Chain A
Amino acid sequence: MTTRKTLGLATAASILALSGAWANEINIAREMDANNYDPHKTTALAAAEILFMLGDTLVSIEPDMQTLSPALATSWEVSADGLTYTFKLRDDVKFCDGRPMTAEDVVYSFNRWLDPATASPVKWRAGEVESITAPDATTVVYKLKAPFSELLYQLTQSFATVIDRNQVEALGQDFGIQGMNGTGPYCWESWNPRDRLTMTKHAGYAWGPAFYENKGEAQIDRLVWQVVPEENTRTIALMTDQTQITQYIPYIALEQMKVAPNLNVVQSDSAFWTYFIGFKIDHPSVADPAVRRAINMAIDQDALARDQFFGGVQGARSYISFETKDWDPSVEAELPKYDPAAANALLDEAGWVAGPDGIRVKDGVRLAPIGYFFTGSTWQKLSEYTQAELRKIGVDLQVEIFDATVAWGKMATQEFDAFGMSYPYVSAGDALNLYFPSTNIPTPNRMNWKDPETDQWLSEGKAALDDATRAGAYSKVLHKVHDANVWLPLIHEPRTIVSSKRLAPIVPHSNYGAALYKGLDLKLVE
């Protein structure tokens, strides 16, 4: 095996050398493409990955997902009432086309984000804005109508990327499709949708986030982002050096990749991306809190993580990972524990009686909730595993699978009882304010969670002027929603990067799941 492999690798190396495409270029494999690369018109992770490299934000976040780091803004000040943010910008920043970037560009970008004509799906992330102005070329004043304690964290997201007005106006509808001129470490070369996007080094780049070791230009001349939806193909492409780096690893392959002589595997310490199944709490089959609690007790998330994902993920019992900013450790003790016998007893006690087919019934309601899920191997594993485990407590989960584009529309309706979803977050507030305000019914609050107390605490948290108040308010929400078992959390997914040994090992970043983040540490070793 080993001799053959070495022989094979030698052959591969010679053939690859023959092909001659290997100057200072690397191929990055990923699972899917984005719909477009206009920061205001897409929420896809696949878009964020690219936008972080093509453009920059005022503020950046360190890999710990807690510490803010200067980026385009060298410093910022927040007024005592939490309403005015004043950013001081660098004066040496240039767009890829060579034009210097000024505060006007920042103001234009933010205003376009907020403009109703843009119809941005992520407008809420900018807060309730009063005005955004540029008193001089290196100062931006961001005025809010109400305090928004999340703002700086939201401004680290790809939606807050500074864009080029001239290009937006020139390309019109094709902005983010035919090009996206940013200030980032790499520049747009070409995009063939569903196939590949290529980018080249931004010469003269020197304004990367402060936490990167590399303070200068990117160290790779050309990046090719290739879409490879097949897990098996991605795996062996990596092992045979057809691609050099990816964060879309089939978990089954992780162990083998860790021992492969030509690969590095680096996993982030903590996860900021969670998969869960949410319940419509006013639908008969999942309205009973006892049912939802029993469901939460029927799943052994650690076994799920170990067996289905081969230890590449963490079993999740909470809705956000324990390392998340503003997570309250006191919630942990109250979380339901895996105990199918107790789950069965709980259901018996609540009056749910098993019918002839083993499925429980009460007052004519069958415990057969309809669940809507996305296509793809991860949800296939999660939904099938949950389906099989729930059957053991007499719950017959109906799995219906939809492609991502249809699923969003389907999941905005009331026609299902449960839904599978996964999401990235930077903080407890980010997660809770997305899913639990009653104003977000029917989507993204698909659970129909309508609770005045929650709404009250969420606005307290948003308006908080200090850390303790904010954390306190969110803690109350965390206690309440976990106690109601509104979700069935499944796994927390850390970012894992597998890369060729020809590249220096890279510590994955977790910002919106874009593990390579700015790509400034991508480097070939000789």
Chain B
Amino acid sequence: MSVTDTIAPAADEAPARRHWLAALMRDPAAALAITVFLLIALAAILAPWLAPHDPAESTRNMMLPPAWAERGSAEFPLGTDGQGRDILSRLLHGTRLTLLIGLVAVVLGGGIGSLLGLLAAFYSRLDPWIMRTADVMLSFPAILLGLALVAVMGAGVTPVILALAVATIPDSARIARSVAVGVMKQEFVEAGRALGLPDRMLFTRYLLRNCISSIMIFMSLRFGQVILLGSALSFLGLGARPPASELGMMASQGRDFMLFAPHIAIIPSLAIFVIVLTANVAGDALRDVLDPRMRS
């Protein structure tokens, strides 16, 4: 959100910025969600230093329950999984990978999609082509794209990121286009055109800068969904490969132990839930404060 500094049409945003931050923190739910999310992100970044064990190392202590349960051990605060690996360490590393997958996918897909959407709004010649292509892409649900990409590339993080990114493109193109079409109708674009300003300048100076906050809001709202989808793909065995840790994969490996050591599947599932929940609440709050028009 640091782009909105000093440009003519958006000049009055500087005071508004202070305002939205304050407004955001006044909502206790949003404040809590943002704090928790940031803490999780911090823990994920610091995972290599925080993790008490090597996440890939099998010890001979299989399926230990968390420390507070009977038979638990303080050495493994959240217990161990079916192969004797420390769940806390895997959780930290897994969160790192999961967040990274979501972030890269949203930025990549959202970026490309938004650019296409803006282009469609800016050059009406391109509009039908871009939007029709987006429609075709929409007919490929992310999960199907993921499956197809895995068939081509083999299971791994890369095809999952690509699938999530590609699946984000059509939606972000649609959103960006609809916002941009509104902006294009405003007078200053007309005026710029009349002044003979070059397209590139009009595009970046006026269109992009006026749409960017909506695009960012869309991306933050999308983030939780992408994490959910990514973890579902990993759950199906299409994502990260051992010995890497990824939350969806951990849950998937844990389901074989559901009956006897349910914590192995439940802990990573809850982690996904908390990440997505805080991201969603924060995204909602951000949207309400920043852009009430997008409320639908």
Residues of A within 8 A of B242 (CB): 380, 383-384, 387, 399
Would A236 and B259 be within 8 Å (CB), given that A388-B56, A388-B243, A399-B242 are in contact? yes
Residues of A within 8 A of B243 (CB): 384, 387-388
Tell me whether A195 is interfacial, beta carbon within 8 Å: no
Would A232 and B84 be within 8 Å (CB), given that A388-B57, A399-B241, A401-B155 are in contact? no
Binding site for A on B (CB under 8 A): 56-58, 60, 62-63, 82-84, 154-155, 237, 241-243, 253, 255-260
Q: Is B256's CB under 8 angstroms from A231's CB?
A: yes
Interface string of A111-131 (1 = CB under 8 A from B): 000000000000000000000
Closest A residue by C-beta to B155: A401
Q: Is B259's CB under 8 angstroms from A232's CB?
A: yes
- The minimal Cβ–Cβ distance linking B27 to chain A, given in whole angstroms, is 40
Tell me whether A203 is interfacial, beta carbon within 8 Å: no
Q: In whole angstroms, how far apart are the Cα atoms of A307 and B243 in the complex?
A: 18
Residues of B within 8 A of A401 (CB): 155, 241
| A387, A388, A402: most-surrounded residue (chain B CB, <10 A) | A388
Q: Is A253's CB under 8 angstroms from B259's CB?
A: yes
Task: List residues 219-246 of chain A with CB under 8 A from any CB of chain B.
Answer: 230-232, 235-236, 239
Residues of B within 8 A of A235 (CB): 259
Residues of A within 8 A of B63 (CB): 252
Residues of B within 8 A of A307 (CB): 60, 62, 84
Can you identify 8 A-B contacts, CB atoms within 8 angstroms?
A230-B255, A232-B257, A256-B259, A308-B62, A380-B242, A384-B242, A399-B241, A400-B154
- The minimal Cβ–Cβ distance linking A1 to chain B, given in whole angstroms, is 13
Residues of B within 8 A of A388 (CB): 56-58, 83, 243
Would A253 and B62 be within 8 Å (CB), given that A232-B255, A375-B237, A380-B242 are in contact? no
Closest B residue by C-beta to A310: B62
Residues of B within 8 A of A408 (CB): none
Q: In whole angstroms, how far apart are the Cα atoms of A401 and B243 in the complex?
A: 12
Q: Is B257's CB under 8 angstroms from A252's CB?
A: yes
- The minimal Cβ–Cβ distance linking A111 to chain B, given in whole angstroms, is 39
Closest B residue by C-beta to A239: B259
Residues of B within 8 A of A387 (CB): 242-243
Q: Is B256's CB under 8 angstroms from A384's CB?
A: no
Binding site for B on A (CB under 8 A): 230-232, 235-236, 239, 250, 252-253, 256, 303, 307-308, 375, 377, 380-381, 383-385, 387-389, 399-402
- The minimal Cβ–Cβ distance linking A127 to chain B, given in whole angstroms, is 40
Q: Is B255's CB under 8 angstroms from A256's CB?
A: no
Residues of B within 8 A of A230 (CB): 255
| A239, A252, A256, A400: most-surrounded residue (chain B CB, <10 A) | A252
| B243, B256, B257, B258: most-surrounded residue (chain A CB, <10 A) | B256
Q: In whole angstroms, how far apart are the Cα atoms of A388 and B60 in the complex?
A: 12
The contact of A252 among B82, B84, B155, B241, by CB within 8 Å, is B82
Would A377 and B83 be within 8 Å (CB), given that A307-B60, A388-B57 are in contact? no
Would A303 and B60 be within 8 Å (CB), given that A235-B259, A252-B260, A253-B259 are in contact? yes
Q: Is the interface of B mostly helix, strand, loop or mixed?
A: loop
Closest A residue by C-beta to B82: A252
Q: In whole angstroms, how far apart are the Cα atoms of A380 and B154 in the complex?
A: 16
Q: Is A250's CB under 8 angstroms from B256's CB?
A: yes
Q: In whole angstroms, how far apart are the Cα atoms of A375 and B154 in the complex?
A: 12
- The minimal Cβ–Cβ distance linking B272 to chain A, given in whole angstroms, is 18
Would A377 and B256 be within 8 Å (CB), given that A252-B82, A401-B241 are in contact? yes
Q: In whole angstroms, how far apart are the Cα atoms of A303 and B62 in the complex?
A: 12
Q: In whole angstroms, how far apart are the Cα atoms of A250 and B260 in the complex?
A: 12
Q: In whole angstroms, how far apart are the Cα atoms of A253 and B261 in the complex?
A: 11
Q: In whole angstroms, how far apart are the Cα atoms of A112 and B101 in the complex?
A: 53
Q: In whole angstroms, how far apart are the Cα atoms of A385 and B243 in the complex?
A: 10
Query: Which are the 9 A-B pairs with shortest beta-carbon distances?
Result: A231-B256, A388-B58, A232-B258, A232-B255, A384-B242, A307-B62, A232-B256, A235-B259, A250-B256
Q: In whole angstroms, how far apart are the Cα atoms of A401 and B62 in the complex?
A: 24
Q: In whole angstroms, how far apart are the Cα atoms of A341 and B27 in the complex?
A: 61
Residues of B within 8 A of A389 (CB): 58
| A231, A250, A307: most-surrounded residue (chain B CB, <10 A) | A307
Q: In whole angstroms, how far apart are the Cα atoms of A387 and B82 in the complex?
A: 15
Would A385 and B58 be within 8 Å (CB), given that A375-B237, A399-B241, A399-B242 are in contact? yes
Q: In whole angstroms, how far apart are the Cα atoms of A399 and B56 in the complex?
A: 13
Residues of B within 8 A of A383 (CB): 242
Q: In whole angstroms, how far apart are the Cα atoms of A380 and B237 in the complex?
A: 11
Q: Is A381's CB under 8 angstroms from B260's CB?
A: no
Q: In whole angstroms, how far apart are the Cα atoms of A375 and B155 in the complex?
A: 11
- The minimal Cβ–Cβ distance linking A325 to chain B, given in whole angstroms, is 35
- The minimal Cβ–Cβ distance linking B144 to chain A, given in whole angstroms, is 17
Additional A-B contacts beyond A252-B82, A256-B260, A385-B83 (18; CB < 8 A):
A232-B255, A232-B256, A232-B258, A235-B259, A252-B63, A256-B259, A307-B60, A308-B82, A380-B242, A383-B242, A384-B58, A384-B242, A384-B243, A388-B56, A399-B242, A400-B154, A401-B155, A402-B154
Residues of A within 8 A of B259 (CB): 232, 235-236, 239, 253, 256
Residues of A within 8 A of B257 (CB): 232, 252
- The minimal Cβ–Cβ distance linking A76 to chain B, given in whole angstroms, is 46
Would A308 and B83 be within 8 Å (CB), given that A387-B242, A399-B241, A401-B241 are in contact? yes
- The minimal Cβ–Cβ distance linking A154 to chain B, given in whole angstroms, is 36
Q: In whole angstroms, how far apart are the Cα atoms of A377 and B253 in the complex?
A: 8
Q: In whole angstroms, how far apart are the Cα atoms of A307 and B260 in the complex?
A: 15
- The minimal Cβ–Cβ distance linking B95 to chain A, given in whole angstroms, is 21
Residues of B within 8 A of A400 (CB): 154
Closest A residue by C-beta to B258: A232
Residues of B within 8 A of A239 (CB): 259
Residues of B within 8 A of A375 (CB): 237
| A231, A232, A239, A308: most-surrounded residue (chain B CB, <10 A) | A232
Residues of B within 8 A of A236 (CB): 258-259
- The minimal Cβ–Cβ distance linking A252 to chain B, given in whole angstroms, is 6
- The minimal Cβ–Cβ distance linking B24 to chain A, given in whole angstroms, is 42
- The minimal Cβ–Cβ distance linking A307 to chain B, given in whole angstroms, is 5
Q: In whole angstroms, how far apart are the Cα atoms of A479 and B243 in the complex?
A: 35
Q: Is B154's CB under 8 angstroms from A384's CB?
A: no
- The minimal Cβ–Cβ distance linking B153 to chain A, given in whole angstroms, is 12
Q: Is A384's CB under 8 angstroms from B155's CB?
A: no
Closest B residue by C-beta to A250: B256
Residues of A within 8 A of B237 (CB): 375
Residues of A within 8 A of B60 (CB): 303, 307
Residues of A within 8 A of B58 (CB): 384-385, 388-389
Q: In whole angstroms, how far apart are the Cα atoms of A445 and B57 in the complex?
A: 33
Residues of A within 8 A of B82 (CB): 252, 308, 381
